[in-house]
């Protein structure tokens, strides 16, 4: 018995998507890890499961899983890939609520990621802490975009070296995505992100959103910003209504069947 899947990518951030609305599939730790494995499976940064929504106004329920089998509340690039796959600018139901999508005139996909969560309990952090200046070397800022993020603004060279340790720092009870940013202009940021459960990836949509939010809070960036990552660029806008809009490309790579 097998299930059909689609392999999608956004700026090199790649995902395997299975739609269980039309076929049976159980996202166990074992089969998610195998699917994500680049030697033994299909290979991806995250696994995405589509299901029937339960909230009014939603077109599809979307769940995100890291290669280690842990579930993430949100993923920006994966959300854009799902929107591109389904077409017609669907509204996605996620753990953090409804995420509307849009298609630009040039065919790029946008996602309204909602409002960032800025309180220490919302990130979450292990203890009461000023999220604008965390008590860690380099003094990163933190917020949640449906998943916890900490952003440094002192260069990108330390991402692979310090990302693994910082992901598991006791300050982050649910671990954290760690962003390393270099300010090029008020409307331009170079960024690398160590993703919890996935490691260093070519791009991270929620990480780009978090970096702009934290940069604006630090008065380092404008509310509209181009975020350049290893895999390409995203346009991020922290709108006046408090929501963060992310726009960029998303592409179907191939389709296939996976034996259960």
Catalytic residues: 75, 204
DSSP 124-146: T-SS---TTS-SSTT--EEEESS
Residue the block writes with tokens 């996909």: 109
User: What is the C-alpha to C-alpha distance for residues 247 and 26, in angstroms, rounded to an integer?
Assistant: 31
User: What is the C-alpha to C-alpha distance for residues 130 and 156, in angstroms, rounded to an integer?
Assistant: 23
Q: Report which secondary-structure segment, H or E, holds 207.
A: helix 205-217
User: What is the C-alpha to C-alpha distance for residues 170 and 47, in angstroms, rounded to an integer?
Assistant: 26
Q: Report which secondary-structure segment, H or E, holds 206.
A: helix 205-217
| Beta carbons within 8 Å of 181's beta carbon, 6+ residues apart | 151, 152, 153, 156, 189, 190, 191, 211, 215
DSSP 45-90: SEEEEEE---STT-SEEEEEE-TTS-EES--HHHHHHHHHHH-S-P
């Amino acid at each position: 018995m097998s299930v059909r899947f689609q392999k999608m990518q956004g700026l090199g951030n790649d995902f395997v998507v299975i739609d269980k609305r039309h076929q049976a599939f159980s996202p166990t730790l074992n089969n998610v890890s195998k699917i994500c494995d680049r030697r033994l499976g299909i290979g991806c940064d995250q696994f995405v499961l589509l299901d029937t929504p339960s909230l009014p106004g939603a077109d599809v329920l979307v769940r995100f899983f890291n290669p280690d089998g842990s579930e993430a509340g949100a993923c920006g690039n994966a959300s854009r890939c799902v929107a591109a796959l389904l077409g017609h600018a669907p509204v996605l139901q996620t753990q953090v609520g409804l995420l509307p999508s849009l298609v630009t005139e040039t065919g790029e996909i946008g996602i309204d990621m909602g409002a960032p969560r800025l309180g220490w309990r919302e990130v979450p952090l292990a203890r009461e802490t000023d999220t604008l200046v965390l008590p860690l070397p380099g003094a990163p800022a933190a917020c949640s975009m449906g998943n916890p993020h900490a952003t440094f603004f002192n260069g990108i060279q330390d991402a692979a070296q310090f990302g693994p340790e910082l992901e598991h720092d006791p300050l982050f009870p649910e671990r954290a995505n760690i962003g390393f940013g270099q300010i090029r202009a008020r409307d331009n940021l170079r960024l690398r992100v160590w993703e919890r459960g996935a490691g260093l990836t070519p791009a991270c949509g929620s990480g780009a959103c978090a970096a702009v939010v934290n940069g604006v809070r630090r008065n380092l960036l404008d509310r509209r910003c181009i975020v350049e990552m290893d895999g390409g660029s995203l346009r991020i806008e922290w709108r006046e209504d408090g929501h963060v809009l992310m726009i960029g490309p998303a592409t179907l790579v191939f389709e296939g069947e996976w034996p259960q």
